[in-house]
């Protein structure tokens, strides 16, 4: 990063209004040459409006925007700098042409940007190889998976080597494998081409990859600085442990701590104490006679800090909810013998394409089962077969005791289903939506009134009852969709990527509700998600690849098995992470990757590899601040397993 050069972009006192609504107000930021500057925050925070104004495609009502020293105060001014910019709008491949192939899309954008033929060939080959799209260059864009579309969109944005790339939530809805590919491309392009990037994301685990960032909420900046500086705004520790009964432990802990989450059988508590012994003593005092087992303490993740900042912003409302909002029971606990879901050798073909290939798994009553997989792995198709939406080509399945092939009506009465696209009527109010779903499921007037009261309480919809659903914040709409899926007291709940675009507090509240439904009421829950942090909430996970279930177990079991087979994760901290990665890769350490200001590497012998790392970097004049050993994350497990499967079957379906 070249901090002594003039800024690439500068924003001061920025204001954007949509009619009477002030979407962004008083935002200031400066983007330096060679850095990745991040914007984080929930939907509606103002990120897209700010980025479009910097890209010169959106007018604004107040303040100043300057790009490459040019004030962006007119269409003519914007045109003067657009050739130096690359802009990727929000949405999977929205800037692409569906009927063109991968290669035709790249060539079109390169020629549109007047890139010389020789450079097109060189950069196209390099970018296709980096994204692993080189063997799909003849595939029509509309037939690509979501992750492939977004990687192609990134290639088309970078093909003319922009000096500033503006990327609006480029990884939302993209699987972890493609997300990691995306970040590898961006890191290399910054290092090799001297590019600068402005990137927004809703994934808190991605925010550590930024050199600096601004956290937006409701159109204003709550905090700005490096990830380390923002972490320092909420000092403390994260303590993970087990205690039983879990829900009793949660209730006791919430009287003292603002952030208490369940992760499968474990509890995750963000404490204000910075000393591990003191933090554990305070937790034991809060729990009384309840046991504290399998304790682990860690520094807080950026998401823990962001949630803390959001809680401060909304303190009065959050405090009131914490004191008054204890959802009433779902109803009588779900009673049925045997397994909640049984899938046996499920197969689904679409013509000659096999979307699901002999998938088998079980879900018990009161269990949260997560299906993980890259875009196009077959997760949604499995759910659609089990819910009776799609007939299977082969195999068998039972849901709440009903045969999915012959008991479509019975299954629908016993399940709740929340699809990727919310199945709500946006022109109806909150109450009208609940009443409509109650009618669809045949509830009488008294039952409808009882369930309506329960849903409003459970989903924290008080005050929104007469609001039109289309105008609700994303998190509120998502909780309403969950309530409508639960209106008839289903035995099994199917959730297909339910929290995309929801802020961290909304996601945590959503998972608190799910945990209570499973633990208190015995509801079996089958969920798909792209958030690896959410997968930690599941009791059991199934990893899908190319239509097959390739791994199954609890999150802890999958990580332990992976660590035995592949090694621990080394986190290497240096003041020159990009150069350090290049040196380590050149020395033969091909498993090294860049993650923000740190270099990560998997190692079966951490002590030996740490010595080797220090020697290589010292020989290149790069100072090593620290090397830490960590357990692999679920994302490490997911990405490594999928890439190994792709390498073993290179002509198989893509990630």
Domain's final residue, options 515, 533, 555? 555
The CATH number given to whatever domain includes residue 390 is 3.40.50.300
Looking at the fold, whether 348 and 296 belong to one and the same domain comes out as no
The CATH number given to whatever domain includes residue 602 is 3.30.70.980
Helix (H, G, I), strand (E, B) or coil at 457: helix
Domain's final residue, options 324, 352, 370? 324
- Is residue 84 domain-resident? yes
- Is residue 4 domain-resident? no
3-state secondary structure labels for all residues of 175-237: CHHHHHHHHHHHHHHHHHHCCEEEEEECCHHHHHHCCEEEEEECCEEEEEECHHHHHCCCCCE
CA 92 to chain centre: 15
Q: Which residues pair with 628 in a beta bridge?
A: 571
- Is residue 590 domain-resident? yes
Contact between residue 604 and residue 632 where contact means Cβ atoms under 8 Å apart: no
Nearest to 95 by CA among 44, 149, 164: 149
- Supply the pLDDT for residue 422: 61
Structure letter (DSSP) for residue 575: S
Looking at the fold, whether 476 and 517 belong to one and the same domain comes out as yes
**What pTM value is reported for the model?**
0.79
**Alpha carbons 352 and 168: distance in angstroms, whole number:** 36
- Is residue 3 domain-resident? no
**Alpha carbons 159 and 186: distance in angstroms, whole number:** 12
Q: Which domain holds residue 571?
A: 557-648
Looking at the fold, whether 45 and 193 belong to one and the same domain comes out as yes
- Is residue 371 domain-resident? yes
Looking at the fold, whether 268 and 280 belong to one and the same domain comes out as yes
- Is residue 620 domain-resident? yes
Which residue ranges of the chain lie beneath pLDDT 50? Answer: 1-2, 316-329, 332-333, 652-655
Looking at the fold, whether 45 and 162 belong to one and the same domain comes out as yes
**Alpha carbons 64 and 533: distance in angstroms, whole number:** 38
Looking at the fold, whether 45 and 125 belong to one and the same domain comes out as yes
Looking at the fold, whether 504 and 357 belong to one and the same domain comes out as yes
Q: List strands edge to edge, sheet with 220-225.
A: 85-88, 164-167, 196-201, 36-40, 212-217, 220-225
Q: In whole angstroms, how large is the CA radius of gyration of the chain?
A: 25
Each residue's pLDDT tens digit, 357-375:
999 999 999 999 999 887 7
Looking at the fold, whether 119 and 13 belong to one and the same domain comes out as yes
The CATH number given to whatever domain includes residue 266 is 3.30.70.100
Contact between residue 515 and residue 367 where contact means Cβ atoms under 8 Å apart: no
**Distinct helix (H) and strand (E) counts, the chain:** 22, 28
Looking at the fold, whether 90 and 210 belong to one and the same domain comes out as yes
Looking at the fold, whether 141 and 287 belong to one and the same domain comes out as no
Q: Which residues pair with 9 in a beta bridge?
A: 31, 67
- Is residue 276 domain-resident? yes
Domain's final residue, options 197, 230, 263? 230
Angle, nearest 10°, between helix axes 176-193 and 117-131? 140
Q: In angstroms, how far apart are the furthest CA atoms of the chain?
A: 77
Looking at the fold, whether 216 and 261 belong to one and the same domain comes out as no
- Supply the pLDDT for residue 323: 39
**170-197: burial string, b at 16+ Cβ within 10 Å, e else:** bbbbbbbbbbbbbbebbbbbbbeeebbb
> 543 Cβ partners below 8 Å, 6+ apart?
372, 373, 549, 550, 551, 552, 558, 637, 638, 641, 642
- Supply the pLDDT for residue 578: 79
CA 427 to chain centre: 28
Looking at the fold, whether 363 and 452 belong to one and the same domain comes out as yes
Contact between residue 507 and residue 499 where contact means Cβ atoms under 8 Å apart: yes
- Supply the pLDDT for residue 326: 43
Number of structural domains (the chain) is 4
- Is residue 655 domain-resident? no
């Amino acid at each position: 990063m070249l901090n002594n050069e003039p800024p690439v972009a500068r924003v001061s006192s920025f204001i954007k209004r949509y009619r009477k609504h002030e979407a962004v107000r008083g935002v200031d930021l400066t983007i330096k040459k060679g850095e990745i500057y991040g914007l984080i925050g929930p939907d509606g925070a103002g990120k897209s409006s700010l980025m479009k104004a910097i890209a010169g495609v959106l007018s604004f009502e107040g303040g100043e925007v300057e790009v490459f020293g040019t004030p962006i105060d007119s269409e003519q001014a914007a045109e003067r700098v657009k050739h130096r910019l690359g802009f990727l709008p929000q949405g999977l491949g929205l800037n692409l042409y569906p009927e063109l192939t991968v290669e035709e899309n790249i060539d079109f954008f390169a020629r549109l940007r007047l890139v010389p033929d020789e450079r097109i060939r060189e950069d196209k080959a390099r970018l296709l190889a980096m994204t692993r799209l080189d063997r799909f260059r003849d595939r029509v864009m509309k037939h690509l998976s979501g992750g492939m579309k977004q990687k192609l969109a990134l290639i088309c944005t970078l093909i003319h080597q922009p000096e500033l790339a503006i990327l609006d939530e480029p990884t939302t809805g993209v699987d972890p494998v493609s997300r990691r590919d995306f970040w590898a491309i961006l890191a290399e392009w910054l290092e090799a081409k001297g590019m600068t990037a402005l990137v927004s994301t809703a994934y808190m685990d991605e925010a550590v990859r930024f050199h600096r960032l601004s956290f937006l909420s409701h159109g204003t900046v709550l905090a700005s600085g490096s990830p380390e500086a923002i972490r320092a705004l909420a000092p403390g520790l994260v303590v993970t442990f087990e205690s039983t009964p879990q829900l009793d432990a949660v209730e006791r802990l919430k009287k003292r701590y603002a952030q208490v989450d369940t992760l499968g059988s474990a509890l995750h508590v963000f404490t204000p104490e910075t000393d591990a012994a003191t933090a554990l003593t305070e937790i034991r005092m809060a729990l009384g006679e309840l046991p504290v087992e399998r304790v682990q303490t860690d520094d807080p993740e950026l998401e823990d800090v962001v949630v803390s900042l959001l809680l401060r912003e909304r303190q009065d409302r959050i405090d009131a909810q914490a004191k008054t909002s204890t959802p009433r029971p779902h109803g009588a606990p779900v009673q049925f013998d045997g397994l909640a879901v049984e899938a046996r050798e499920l197969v689904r073909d679409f013509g000659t394409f096999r979307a699901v290939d002999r998938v088998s798994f079980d879900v018990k009553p009161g269990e949260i089962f997560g299906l993980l997989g890259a875009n196009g792995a077959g997760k949604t198709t499995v759910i659609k077969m089990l819910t009776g939406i799609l007939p299977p080509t082969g195999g068998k399945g039972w849901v709440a005791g009903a045969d999915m092939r012959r008991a479509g009506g019975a299954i629908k009465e016993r399940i709740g289903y929340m699809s990727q696209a919310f199945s709500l009527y946006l022109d109806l109010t909150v109450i009208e939506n609940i009443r409509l779903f109650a009618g669809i499921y045949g509830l009488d007037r008294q039952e409808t009134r009882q369930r309506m009261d329960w849903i409003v309480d459970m989903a924290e919809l008080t005050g929104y009852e007469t609001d039109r659903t289309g105008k609700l914040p994303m998190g509120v709409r998502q909780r309403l969709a969950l309530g409508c899926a639960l209106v008839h007291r289903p035995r099994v709940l199917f959730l297909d990527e339910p929290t995309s675009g929801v802020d961290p507090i909304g996601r945590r509240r959503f998972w608190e509700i799910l945990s209570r439904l499973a633990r208190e009421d015995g509801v079996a829950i089958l969920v798909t998600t792209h958030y690896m942090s959410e997968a930690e909430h599941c009791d059991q996970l199934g990893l899908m690849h190319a239509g097959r279930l390739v791994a199954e177990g609890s999150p802890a079991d999958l990580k332990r098995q992976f660590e035995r087979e592949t090694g621990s994760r080394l986190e290497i901290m240096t003041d020159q992470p990009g150069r350090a990665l290049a040196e380590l890769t050149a020395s033969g350490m091909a498993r090294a990757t860049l993650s923000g200001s740190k270099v990560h590497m998997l190692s079966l012998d951490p002590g030996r590899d740490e010595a080797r790392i220090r020697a290589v970097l010292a020989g290149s004049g790069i100072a090593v601040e620290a090397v830490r050993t960590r357990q692999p994350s679920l994302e490490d497990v997911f990405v490594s397993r999928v890439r190994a499967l792709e390498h073993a079957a290179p002509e198989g379906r893509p990630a």
